[in-house]
Structure 1
C-alpha cells in the first residue's frame, strides 16, 4: 500500500490555489490507486512553532540528558519525522509569498531537518537518510517566475529535499494567477492536465 503525505502551506488552507491543485492530484491518485493511504497536514489549520534557541538546544541535546521540557519539544519534531518516514510520496502545495516559501512551510522544514535522524554528516559530506521517496510540488504564483532569478522557491525546495535524501522531485507550476483572468485560467488548466497525467 502506498502512503501519501500531503502538506498544505497556503495561508488560506483549502481555499488556496496550491491546496486546490494538490487536492486534485491526491483525488486523482486515489481514484487510480484506491488502496493508497492519505495523510494530510494543513499548516494553516495547525501551524508549527518557529525555531528558537530553546528548541534547537533540545534537538541537539543527547537523548539521555534531555530535560522533561526538552523531551516535549523534541516529541513534536519526532512525530513529524515519523510521519514522513512512513510515507512513500510527499505532496506539497507551495504558494509564493514575497518571492519565498510560506514561513509555516519553513517551520515544517526546520522541524524535520535533524542531524543523525533525517541526515548525517560524513567524511564525504552530508548524506540524506530519507532516500527512496517521491515528491510532487504544486507551486502557485501571482506572477511568472519559473526559470528566472526571482524564482527562489524551486532551487530551495529541491535542495532541501535532496539534503534529506529525497531526490526524485517533480514541480507542477501554475503561474500568472494575478495577471489576468485568461492567464489564470490557462495556467490552472495546464496544471490540472499535468497533474492528471502524473496521477495516472
Structure 2
C-alpha cells in the first residue's frame, strides 16, 4: 500500500475557486491528492497543515538535544525533540510527498522552513562523522525511493527557470536543496503565477497548472 504525505503551508486556509481569498497551492495539492486516491484506492494519506499549525522553530535547546547521542539524552531533550520525531516518522512512512508551498517574498513561508528545520536532523535523516574521509555529511534516505512534488504559487510571473525573474525564485531551489541533502532527489514542480494580476492571465495559469497536476498523476500511475 502506497503512502502519500500531504503538506500544506499557505497562510490562506481556503481553496481558491471555492473560498474567498482561497489558496492556489491548497487548490493544487487537494486536486493532486484526490486524483492520486482515484488511481490508488488502497493508498494511505497522511495530512499535515503547517500553514495553520506551524512546527516549532529551532532553538538552542533543540540543537543541543539533536546533537546529543540518543542513549545520553536527558528527559527534557526527548521532550524538545518529540515534535521533530513525529514529523520525521511521517516523512519516513511516505513514498510520495506532496508539498503546497507558496512564494512569500521570494522564498517559502517561514512555517515551511520550520518544517524543513525539524526534518533535517543529524542521525535521523542525515549522517555526520567529522572523521569520515571526504564530506562529513551524507543522506540517510537516498535508498528509499521517495519522491517529492512541489506545488507553488507566485504573485508575479516569470519565476520559472527561463523567466525574467528566475534569479529571484528561492522557493524550489531552497526546498529541493534541503530534501536532496537528506536523500530525496526525485522531484517535480508545478506553479501558478499572476496571482496579483488576477483576470485572464491568472485563470490561464491556474488551468495550465491543473492540467499539469492531472498529467503528472497519470504519469506516476503509468497511464
Deviation string 1:95-152 (CA, Å, 9 cap, x unpaired) is: 0111110000000000001112101135332321122101100011011122211111
Measure, in 2, the Cα distance between the counterparts of 1:2 and 1:104: 27
Q: Could you state the TM-score of these two structures normalised by the residue count of structure 2?
A: 0.86
Which residue of the partner structure matches residue 3 of structure 1? 3
Q: 1:123 aligns with which of 113, 122, 133?
A: 133
Tell me how far 1:35 sits from its aligned partner.
Answer: 1.1
Q: Counterparts of 1:61 and 1:68 in 2: how far apart (Å)?
A: 12
Structure 1 or 2: more helix by fraction: 1
Structure 1 residue 14 displacement after superposition:
4.1
Q: Find the partner of 1:73 among 57, 63, 80.
A: 80
Alpha-carbon contact 2:55-2:83 (below 8 Å) kept: no
Q: Residues of 1 paired with 2:84 and 2:141: CA distance?
A: 15
In structure 1, the partner of 2:148 is 135
1:30-41 aligned at under 5 Å gives the runs: 30-41=37-48
- How far apart in 2 are the matches of 1:14 and 1:195? 19
Partner secondary structure for residue 195 of structure 1: helix
Indicate whether 1:170 and 2:177 are aligned.
Answer: no
The alignment's C-alpha RMSD in Å is 1.2
Tell me the secondary structure at the aligned position of residue 13 of structure 1: coil
Whether contact under 8 Å (1:13, 1:42) holds in the other structure is no
Q: Are the aligned partners of 1:141 and 1:177 in contact in 2 as well (CA < 8 Å)?
A: yes
Aligned length: 200
Helix, strand or coil at the partner of 2:191:
strand
State the TM-score, normalizing by the size of structure 1: 0.95
| Counterpart position of 2:221 | none
SS at match of 2:168: coil
Question: For structure 2, which runs of at least 5 residues remain unmatched after alignment?
Answer: 16-22, 219-223
Which structure would you say has the larger Rg?
A: 2
Q: Distance in 1 between matches of 2:160 and 2:67?
A: 37
Structure 1 unaligned regions, length at least 5 = none
Are 1:182 and 2:192 an aligned pair? no
- Distance in 1 between residues matched to 2:139 and 2:194, nearest whole Å: 34
